[in-house]
Structure formats: structure tokens, C-alpha cells
Amino acid sequence: MKNSILILVFCLFIACKTDKKNDSPLQSAPPTKIEINHAKGFSIETTNNGLTIIEVSSAWPGATTSFKYALAPKNKMASITLNKEEYDAIVATPIERLIVTSTTHIPSLDALGVTNKLVGFPKTSLISSENTRKLIDAGHIKELGNNETLNTEIAISLRPEVLVGFGINNQNKAYETIIRSNIPVVYNGDWTEESPLGKAEWVKFFAPFFGLETKADSIFKSIEKSYEQTKAIVKDVTKKPTVLTGGLYKDVWHVAGGKSWMAQFLQDAKTDYLWKETQETGGISQSLETVLATAQHADFWLNPSILTSYAEVEESNEHYTQFDAYKNKTIFSNTIAKGATGGLLYYELGPMRPDLVLKDLIHIFHPELLPDHQLFFFKPLE
């Protein structure tokens, strides 16, 4: 009965592996809140015994649970007692090795000057940052497959001190294995943030892991100042051009919702976005008929799916040629500017540099106000 021997051995394996837990009582201290002015998805508090508590309330859209992470300085680890049950992860700082999972995390690491601490990333080809690409090419940053089916073996073997994850829910089996291997996983919800400056403020989320809070604060302040100054350029504009966004996929046209990130940029750039009245924060599915009726005469058209030239526009759907923006050659797209390996610059760096996005848009819609600006994210179709 070799079968039963196998089963017996298997049961022994189960019996041998038990989780270790070491709980200790919590030492309380009155916390100080770090200033977060625009981002709604996270908060940071510091206690007088050197502990930093990050709370992520919007890990994914419609999240109903908050995640609480405790960051304790390595040199004080011995003196700080924490109740493990109270936190979703405990991280010893400053960290020397980390894994991040979204290209939106890369600009924060670049800005803080800690890209060399990154040891692994799923789908490295999506990264466009030149600085990070050098490290990938040098083999310093390892490939981890893709985020939905993260290569657990490689992730664990890299021995990161933290994995910054993202997901549409907490359904990532690989993350669970990584947590069981005592590598803390923290969720970053930067992509759920709706306002341009809110997204950029997530640089402050990364700072405490490296003890760079002051640096992050000054980085964000300069972006905030630049954004406000750019916004002020168009404050007296009265003639707002009308704008259409998105394109067809099969027979559904996805336009940006009236409360989306894109729509807020369009509002700050003083345009009349034709779907500004809608309440959606993501995309809205529309039929071709509706879009044609609403936006045939729009002055500008942004991001027609992944099309890069007027020839492609005509080829992909003959109805596209009915739009004034096609006839007047006023179509611009954020999917043309790509990194060395084909990653889209806009989706990587755009969230961190809303000031640059806004400058691009003002240059497109009101060229007389920013005549010398070189388009960075948005390019005209060929």
C-alpha cells in the first residue's frame, strides 16, 4: 500500500509545519498626523517612540476595509513593542530591498533617489524610467512575471523587506504565500486617487520606508506649486474648446467619466469637456451613435484608443472620419510617447507629474498661452 504511505508522509508534512506567532502588548503613544492635503486614500501618523503608522483606506476602488501598516526603525526595534494583531504588516525601516508592482510606483522611487533599492518588478518591460531601465539591464532588478500571477519563488528568493502591491481586491494568491514567508505586503492605492495632485501626493506614502519624509514633502510641494502656477496661466480664459476623449473597442466607445482624473485635467486646462456632467470616476461605455451625436463637432479629440496616425484612425473605423477633430487634424494621444521597451510614459510618470500633464494640455488647447512648451505626454497624431 504505497499509496497510503504517501498519504501518511503528506499528513506528517502538514503536522510538522505550524505557524509561529509572537505577540506582545502594545505601548501606546499620542500620534502626530503627517500633512496630506490632496490624497484621500491614505494617512500617516508618527508616534513619539519613533513608530510610523500608515493607514490605506482606499487600496482599491470601493474598498470597505482599511489596511494599517506599522513602520518601526531598525535601531529601535528592540525597544518598541507591537501588537501584531493590530497591523496588517510590520516593516523595519529604513528598508534596503523592496519589490513594487505598478509602474506608477517607479517615479516616486526615482524622485526619492532610492531606485537602487528595487530588486524585483512584474513585467519589467513596462518600465520606461531611464534610470530604472539601466538597473534592469544590469540585472539588478529581476523579472517577476506579472502581478496577477506573480512568480512567488523568485519574489521570495529576492528577500525583499517589503512588497508594495496593488490589486482590485485582496485576491492575490501569490501575495498570500509571500506574507506567509514573513515578507510584509503593503497595498498602494495611488491609482484609485481621483485628483491630479492627490495621485502625486502618494510620493509621501513611500517616504517613511526610507526615512525620507522631509525630501518627499519638498518634492510634493514643488510639484504642487508648479501645478498651481500652471493652472493660473489659464485663469482668465473665457473661450473653452470642446473636447472628446477615448475611442471604440468593438462597438463600445469608452469616454472618460466626468469625475475622472482626465476630466479634472480638462477642467483645470479650461476646456469644455462634453461629458463633464457625468458622475463616473472611471470610463463610461457609450454607443457610437451617442458619441457622434454629442461630439461630432468637438474642437479636440484626445486618446483615440491606441491609434497613432490619421491613416490608422481612418483604417480602424470609417465612422471616425465624420468627426471634425479628424477633419481638422486636432487629435492628440497619450499613447504615442513610449519608453525604450514600449511602456506608456503617461501612465508611469503622469500621476507623479500632473504639472507636466497640465502644461501639455494648455499648450494643446491654448497654444498662445504656453507657446514654447515641448509636448511631453501628449503627441499629435501623424
Give residues in contact with other proteins (CB under 8 A).
Answer: 2-3, 6-7, 10, 13-14, 17, 62-65, 142-145, 148-149, 151-154, 156-159, 168-171, 173-174, 176-177, 180-181, 282-283
CA dist., res. 71 & res. 33, Å (int):
14
Q: Judged by CB, which is closer to other proteins: 49, or 151? A: 151
Closest distance of CB 352 from other proteins, Å:
21
Closest distance of CB 353 from other proteins, Å:
24
Q: Judged by CB, which is closer to other proteins: 154, or 233? A: 154
CA dist., res. 71 & res. 90, Å (int):
6
CA dist., res. 275 & res. 263, Å (int):
8
CA dist., res. 285 & res. 209, Å (int):
40
Closest distance of CB 149 from other proteins, Å:
6
Q: Judged by CB, which is closer to other proteins: 3, or 238? A: 3
Closest distance of CB 12 from other proteins, Å:
11
Closest distance of CB 212 from other proteins, Å:
27
Transcribe 336-380 into DSSP letters.
S-B-TTS-BHHHHHTTT-HHHHHHHHHHHH-TTTSTTPPPSS-EE
Helices vs strands, H then E, count in the chain:
14, 20
- Residues contacting 68, CB < 8 A, separation 6+: 53, 54, 55, 86, 87, 88
For the record, the C-alpha cell of 300 comes out as 479636440
Q: How many CA atoms lie within 13 A of 302 on its CB side?
A: 24
Q: Dihedral angle at the C-alpha atoms of 255, 259, 263, 268, nearest 10 degrees?
A: 170
Q: b/e for 177-212, b at 16 or more Cβ within 10 A?
A: ebbeeebbbbbbbbbbbbbbbbbbbbbbbbbbbbeb
Closest distance of CB 208 from other proteins, Å:
25
- Residues contacting 296, CB < 8 A, separation 6+: 322, 323, 324
Q: Judged by CB, which is closer to other proteins: 143, or 324? A: 143
First to last CA, the chain: 72
How large is the angle between the packed helices 354-365 and 261-268, nearest 10 degrees? 60
CB atoms within 10 A of CB 116: 13
Closest distance of CB 234 from other proteins, Å:
32
Q: Judged by CB, which is closer to other proteins: 175, or 265? A: 175
CA dist., res. 55 & res. 68, Å (int):
5
Q: Judged by CB, which is closer to other proteins: 123, or 215? A: 123
Q: Judged by CB, which is closer to other proteins: 4, or 238? A: 4
Q: Judged by CB, which is closer to other proteins: 7, or 293? A: 7
Q: Judged by CB, which is closer to other proteins: 47, or 66? A: 66
Closest distance of CB 153 from other proteins, Å:
4
Closest distance of CB 194 from other proteins, Å:
16
